[in-house]
Chains A and B, each alone.
Chain A
Amino acid sequence: MRTIHTDIITKTIRDMCIEANLHLSPDMERVIKEATKTEDGPLGKQIMEQLCENLKIAEEEQIPICQDTGMAIVFVTVGQDVHVEGGSLAEAIHEGVRQGYTDGYLRKSVVRDPLIRENTNDNTPAIIHYTIVPGDTFELLLAPKGFGSENMSRIFMLKPADGEEGVKTSVIQAVKDAGPNACPPMVVGVGLGGDFETCAILAKKALTRDLDSPSPLPHIRKLEEELLRELNQLGIGPGGFGGKTTVLAVNMETYPTHIAGMPLAVNICCHVNRHVKRTL
């Protein structure tokens, strides 16, 4: 049995919130730089250069990359031999978000009630997903998610007969509809299988996968590559002003599903695809 104190969890989450909003992961930065070199849309090229300049200013002057510093999504992978001491694990995470968003001068973008819409003024609560695994690992993955792109995300309850073609058509439709609203170039997270809510969580998790590690399943990797190519033929381009860089990456995650269905979730993220991982 391993014991982890909630104080460490709070402190780690606090630091992760700040880090995620000031720097992108190396893989994200790399694809943005590569696309800046290859983009040939006249406005598109200029916008890609501004995005690179923006990342540099964010880093040097410690200004958030985007003013929408997101809602804090936290994936916790906890070994069943881990004992959390010092209070509630969820409260420790919320407290970390509270401290991170306050100390880091990040925007408070959460309202307590979807209809009454009063700001909680500390960006809490976080949205927390737990996975319990054997052993004594404890891993935190934090992804601040902006809502310009979140609002353009979709769920399609496809039929088994729709097959691969159905998956492609739906993903392409979602990206087309998102267009300039989702701050292209986008990263597309796809969740396929499971049920209604599982595919959505898979799609969100897919956005956090390292862009240098494609799906280990050959048929899914092929689909990721084909979708990336076809989506970049849409011509939407940076900012929606035309160009070859509409999508920076497509990450797809799958789960077994029912004989009668093929749920598909498309979670759209902008080029500010933020995520930080820490193992305690």
Chain B
Amino acid sequence: MEKHISGPITKEEIQSLHAGDYVYITGTVYTARDAAHKRMYEAITEGKEPPFDLTDQIIYYLGPSPAKAGQVIGSAGPTTSSRMDKYAPLLMEHGLSGMIGKGKRSPEVLQAMQKHTCVYFAAVGGAGALLSKCIKKAEIIAYEDLGTEAIRRLEVENLPVIVVADAEGNNLYETAVDDYKRTHHFN
């Protein structure tokens, strides 16, 4: 089903999303990948505040290529989510509600998503030029020294993503391939 949602995302909106939904996101999302996750995780475990209030926010696992003059951002597609699996449950405990990336998640992440009512979206990997067109504003808000891995606040318009795992424990990666094989008579 096609849906339009906003970032940040409310718990009610999350409950209306199901694995397999094709979703367009408009509003605010934050970028963070490996190095920024490690720092946020360390800050929180040391009892410090994360660099932005995580409540209801969506994190896009993205390290963009540099913007040229006149561009908002360079190429901007998702990176592999599993590298963030170690850190994601703690961020969800602190309010994180959505994640955009690509690829499989660990059982721990999927369980934490159900516990904290969180959603995991995939954007199309390797479509960074196309996806960059949906980003209208980009501003570094933390960890500037990390370069491409700094945390950016993005304003996005109709960013196309697919719900892979919903808050009820459904997982599109587990069902889609079997469904295709069954309907196309692959053994």
Q: Which A residues are within 8 Å of any B CB, using their own CB? A: 40-41, 43-44, 46-47, 50-51, 53-55, 57-58, 61-69, 105-109, 117, 119, 121, 146, 148, 151, 179-183, 233-237, 239-244, 270-272
- Contact of B75 (CB < 8 Å), options: A51, A53, A67: A67
Render B123-157 as a binary contact track against A, CB cut-off 8 A, 1 for contact: 01111111011000000000000111100000000
Cβ-defined contact, B177 with A63, below 8 A = no
CA A239 – CA B82 in complex, angstroms? 15
- Contact of B103 (CB < 8 Å), options: A67, A106, A240: A240
How many whole Å from A53's CB to the nearest CB in chain B?
6
Given contacts A180-B102, A183-B125, A63 and B180 within 8 Å (CB-CB) = no
Q: B77 an interface residue at 8 Å Cβ cutoff? A: yes
Cβ-defined contact, B173 with A240, below 8 A = yes
Cβ-defined contact, A69 with B177, below 8 A = no
- A146 surroundings in chain B (CB, below 8 A): 126
- Contact of B65 (CB < 8 Å), options: A61, A69, A148, A180: A69
Cβ-defined contact, A107 with B74, below 8 A = yes
Given contacts A67-B74, A148-B102, A54 and B126 within 8 Å (CB-CB) = yes
Render B157-187 as a binary contact track against A, CB cut-off 8 A, 1 for contact: 0001010000000001100111111001011
Identify 13 new A-B residue pairs, CB closer than 8 A, beyond the known A50-B127, A107-B65, A272-B126.
A44-B180, A51-B126, A53-B127, A54-B130, A63-B132, A67-B76, A119-B147, A180-B102, A235-B184, A237-B177, A242-B180, A242-B181, A270-B126
Cβ-defined contact, A105 with B74, below 8 A = yes
Cβ-defined contact, B177 with A107, below 8 A = no
Q: B66 an interface residue at 8 Å Cβ cutoff? A: yes
Cβ-defined contact, A67 with B77, below 8 A = yes
Cβ-defined contact, B124 with A47, below 8 A = yes
- Contact of A180 (CB < 8 Å), options: B77, B104, B181: B104
Residue of B nearest to A69 (CB): B65
Task: Report how many A-B pairs have Cβ atoms within 8 Å.
Answer: 158
Cβ-defined contact, B180 with A237, below 8 A = yes
Cβ-defined contact, A107 with B176, below 8 A = no
Given contacts A108-B148, A180-B122, A240-B176, A66 and B184 within 8 Å (CB-CB) = no
- A47 surroundings in chain B (CB, below 8 A): 124
- A44 surroundings in chain B (CB, below 8 A): 180
List 18 contacting pairs A-B, 8 Å CB cutoff, sorted by A.
A43-B176, A47-B124, A50-B124, A53-B127, A64-B65, A65-B128, A68-B79, A106-B66, A107-B64, A148-B103, A181-B103, A182-B103, A235-B177, A236-B177, A239-B122, A242-B181, A244-B184, A271-B126
CA A182 – CA B103 in complex, angstroms? 8
- A41 surroundings in chain B (CB, below 8 A): 176, 180
How many whole Å from B22's CB to the nearest CB in chain A?
8
Cβ-defined contact, A148 with B173, below 8 A = no
* Beta-carbon contacts under 8 Å, B7-54 to A: 22, 35
Residue of A nearest to B81 (CB): A181
Q: B111 an interface residue at 8 Å Cβ cutoff? A: no
- A40 surroundings in chain B (CB, below 8 A): 184
Residue of B nearest to A176 (CB): B177
- Contact of A57 (CB < 8 Å), options: B22, B133, B173: B133
Given contacts A63-B128, A64-B74, A69-B65, A242 and B148 within 8 Å (CB-CB) = no
Nearest first, the 6 closest Cβ-Cβ pairs linking A and B are: A242-B180, A183-B125, A181-B103, A67-B75, A242-B176, A235-B181
Cβ-defined contact, B124 with A109, below 8 A = no
Cβ-defined contact, B128 with A67, below 8 A = yes
Cβ-defined contact, A243 with B180, below 8 A = yes
Render B85-106 as a binary contact track against A, CB cut-off 8 A, 1 for contact: 0000000000000000011100
